[in-house]
Amino acid sequence: MECFRRVNPFRACAGLRVLGYLMLALVAAIVAVSYYAVVVYAWGPLLLGGGGGSVAAAAIVLAAFHLLLIMMLWCYLMVVFTDPGAVPENWRHAAEEDDMDESNTRTISNDVATDIVNPPLFTSEGQGNASRYCSRCQNGKPPRCHHCSICDRCVLKMDHHCVWVVNCVGARNYKYFLLFLVYTFLETVLDTLVLLPSFITFFRDESRRSSSASDVAILFLAFVLNLAFALSLLIFIGMHTSLVASNTTSIEVMLCTVSTSGFHARHSS
């Protein structure tokens, strides 16, 4: 039992950052596969050697593909490299600062030689209007601030830690995260639609089966991945749209759900 007590569970959370770097490589691989399938295999040859109508259609498809790809990658990099929101060092709640000023005024006016020790307004549970205190960061926690065990820091208006971006999603990069979801959804929908004709033609026309096995595998993989991501991202966009409309975050919804479940469990027993 003593051995288990010495185990630090937060080390396992910190190890998830390694998984995040693998996810970065996975994102790059998915983008590369989709780019090859759309540009090199399906629509690039039509742009270079097709007729008038095929060239125009290929030009429109490739222009939309590259535009969405650039916007998606820009938003992705902004989510990765933008600080989600750090708590200033030695942060104090405004109410506590007012109480300290009042205490100092009373001390000076009364010429008291001894120090006055005021009870802190920080509470671990953040009850009422009192601010909370993070024992791991040794700092105050502003309202709607939460400690991330993976990043080992407090994040302002933390929504969640996203392994896909190796970063927390918080007050300062949440906008880029939402834009990333939208642009990625549009890109995956476009990829699925423009790859669908090639996907169907390959299985219907035997003459197209002369393509190399690697091209066939990339076409199939790109189509399936983009379709799967488009469907999953639609759910995420709907969820975060609801969160924005209600001015809440994912972690706040989760904590509220856990608190409500615990309340019902206590009163039902």
Q: Among all residues, which ones are annotated catalytic?
A: 162
How many C-beta atoms lie closer than 10 Å to residue 27's C-beta? 16
Residue 38 near residue 47, CB atoms below 8 Å? no
> How many CB atoms are closer than 10 A to CB 69?
20
Cα angle at 107 between 101 and 112, to 5 degrees?
Answer: 160
Report yes or no: 148 and 113 within 8 Å, Cβ to Cβ: no
- Residue 102 gets the label, from left (phi > 0), alpha (psi -120 to 50) or beta, of alpha
Instruction: Convert 143-161 to b/e letters by CB count within 10 Å (16 or more is b).
Output: ebbbbbbbbebbbbbbbbb
Whether 152 and 161 have beta carbons less than 8 Å apart is answered as no
Supply φ then ψ for residue 23, to 5 degrees: -65, -35
CB-count burial class (<10 Å; 0-12, 13-18, 19+) for 217: exposed
Full DSSP string of 139-193: EEE-TT-EEETTTTEEETT--EEETTTTEEE-TTTHHHHHHHHHHHHHHHHHHHH
